[in-house]
Structure 1
């Protein structure tokens, strides 16, 4: 019986009583069974194909890699949180450098112009990534508001390789999104991009022109 036939049959048999949810086959959206190395390879392939830049580093030297990125990109003002592990470690390491650290735990109405015009880059942690689509996933918090990854021209994201999962379905099921999902979960697959009617692709029109991922192993 086709999906259309199933729907029509349920409509014909409908009564005033609550209808149980039909059985669903989720095998097409999960079950990739990739190894850890394959997940990294898939993720890097897809996010690099849309101009995402991957910097491989170790968990004990990622801050040195961050300093190198800031120097190479000419970043003078870096926006970041305070309390999450990535922001806290970055603040400790960058305290002696010339980069000005910009606090984001403020009412955006008080510093909107500063955020849009004077911040060179935003640094965020990530909760993981999706190998199949080459996507990061973030849950904004007061410490890391969504503007931190959506407004500055450069978004620097820190990702642990062991948090890359096969598919979006695997992320949603493993992390219990059905029981508690935020008002907005961000899926980031490369820098901001758009196209005009002639299909000419442009980067950075509505958000970051560059996305750099510090992939920690």
Structure 2
């Protein structure tokens, strides 16, 4: 028998004859004070995210590719990393096909080992989707996938994130219930409120030290 099974066996044996402590969890304590009318979710999220230097833009499902085009050109960004096999990746590819003068699209379609230097040194911006957002904390929920891995939102200096207004949740508890995390925790769910920042020892706030220097969120208001 392994040491693990021996330890667990002793723990279970020690509980014999005991009575479980009642679970007095009160759901209202983590939901009622962090619940918002539908029309307040975007303003609440925006207030908190802009307070930590996140840039927010309201747009629609029809117009977001044009807005993204303008934001890239305003920043004079020469390229954009996309996940070509995602719905938004295909959408932006179609939009770009009609505008050959736009910044170069770069596809994340190979193992990182095959192009690590290019990814880290010559990829100025990326576009990813989100699983939703949390109004109470001003956080995006980023859910990496094999098509859209974590490095897409971590490495490029500018991260553009798509968020559907209908997927802004009131609080973290609501998110856990919505996606049944109690039945199986996700392997790599991320809560992101703003660009990377650190103060380190000298207490001088710097952005972009451990991730994107700029986080730009496009909120799609169409239902």
Indicate the residue corresponding to 2:213 in structure 1.
209
Residue 104 (structure 1) aligned with residue 108 (structure 2): yes
CA contact (8 A) 1:159 1:216 kept: yes
Residue 117 (structure 1) aligned with residue 118 (structure 2): no
Q: Which residue of 29, 37, 54 maps to 1:35? A: 37
CA contact (8 A) 1:122 1:152 kept: yes
SS in structure 1 of the partner of residue 183 of structure 2? coil
Structure-1 separation of matches of 2:139 and 2:17? 41
Alignment of 1:99-178 (within 5 A): 99-178=103-182
| Displacement of 1:60 | 1.2
| Displacement of 1:196 | 2.2
CA contact (8 A) 2:82 2:106 kept: yes
Structure-1 separation of matches of 2:162 and 2:168? 12
Structure 2 unpaired stretches of 5+: 1-13
Residue 179 (structure 1) aligned with residue 183 (structure 2): yes
Structure-2 separation of matches of 1:77 and 1:30? 42
TM-score, normalised with respect to structure 2: 0.86
Structure-1 separation of matches of 2:18 and 2:122? 55
Q: What's the RMSD between the two structures over aligned residues?
A: 1.9
| Displacement of 1:18 | 8.5
Structure 1 unpaired stretches of 5+: 1-13
Moved over 3 A (4+): 17-22
Q: How many residue pairs are counted as aligned between the two chains?
A: 205
| Displacement of 1:47 | 0.3
Task: Please say which of residues 161-170 and 83-92 is displaced more in the overlay.
Answer: 83-92
Structure-2 separation of matches of 1:163 and 1:19? 42
Structure-2 separation of matches of 1:19 and 1:45? 47
